[in-house]
Amino acid sequence: MIDGFLLEKKLNKNIPIPLYYQLKELLMEYISVSDENTPLPTESQLCEHFQVSRSTVRQTLGELTSDGFLVRHKGKGTMILPRKIDQDFLVVLESFNDEMHEKGYTPHTEVLSLTVQEASPSVAKALKIAKGDPVVNLVRLRGANSVPMVLVSSYLPAAFNGLGSLVTEDLVNNSLYRIMEDTYHVPIESSRRVIEIRLAGDFEASHLKVAPHAPLQYIETISTTTDNIPVEFSKASYRGDISRFVIEIRKKRI
């Protein structure tokens, strides 16, 4: 049965916007004001109310399912999935744990690897050190409410202010940036981040619990000190189905 928000909505067949796209926009509004696990009206109900074909409804529901807004169960119908977690990672320099706590989630971290190794050409270029110089490589799987969210590999110049000793630190329960600042006197002042879409390989898929070739939000970060010295180069792969990023843009003042 169609009720509430959708009951008052109609599609406009007199404009050059495809009906499936109009329906998708309406259903996204409905999803935004509904609780997770709320059942969606059936295909037949949507067809009847909006006066569209079943193929139009199926295209709409298929795209919303692929985009991570809905899940379709045989015999149970179509349900609204939990909302993606907004992250301020691209705007604010803040630890993952602090941000998750502020948003009401319980964060968790698993250290997969913590070693000192030789810098590859790409790592050396990012950190402005020589190829083969020692770097700390920290690989972590991080998540919230027991759901894996991001797989991140960080590289730090081992010779800078004794950062090589990070291999002895507890990086499961403590913030990397806080340890860098409090223990090694290496405060992070700014970061440059580049974001793109990549497909999950076997390693990412197995740890993030997604299908191979699932889309991931891939972010490379170079973080620098107050003296503009690069002290961290990281590669992070976020699950695209549960994460979205907030970007704040301000007008340039002349």
**Residue 86: per-residue pLDDT:** 58
Residue 87 above 60 pLDDT?
Answer: no
β-bridge partners, 45: none
With respect to CATH, is domain 85-245 assigned 3.40.1410.10?
yes
Within 8 A by CB and 6+ apart from 254, the residues are: none
Q: How confident is the model at residue 88 (pLDDT cuts 50, 70, 90)?
A: low
Q: How confident is the model at residue 37 (pLDDT cuts 50, 70, 90)?
A: confident
Alpha helices in 143-243 (DSSP H): 176-182, 202-208
pTM of the model: 0.71
Alpha helices in 67-201 (DSSP H): 96-102, 121-127, 176-182
Output phi, psi for 192, to 5 deg.
Answer: -115, 125
Q: For residue 210, give the 3-state DSSP assignment.
A: coil
- In this structure, the number of other CB atoms found within 10 A of the CB of residue 161 comes to 16
Output phi, psi for 101, to 5 deg.
Answer: -60, -40
For the chain, percent of residues with pLDDT exceeding 70? 90
CATH architecture of 4-80: Orthogonal Bundle (1.10)
Q: State the average pLDDT over residues 92-104.
A: 66
Residues of the chain with CATH 1.10.10.10: 4-80
Closest CA to 93 of 164, 166, 7, 193: 193
Residues of the chain with CATH 3.40.1410.10: 85-245
> pLDDT (tens digit, 9 = 90+) per residue, 127-137?
999 999 999 99
| Contact in structure between 231 and 160 (CB atoms under 8 Å) | yes
Residue with tokens 């004794």: 162
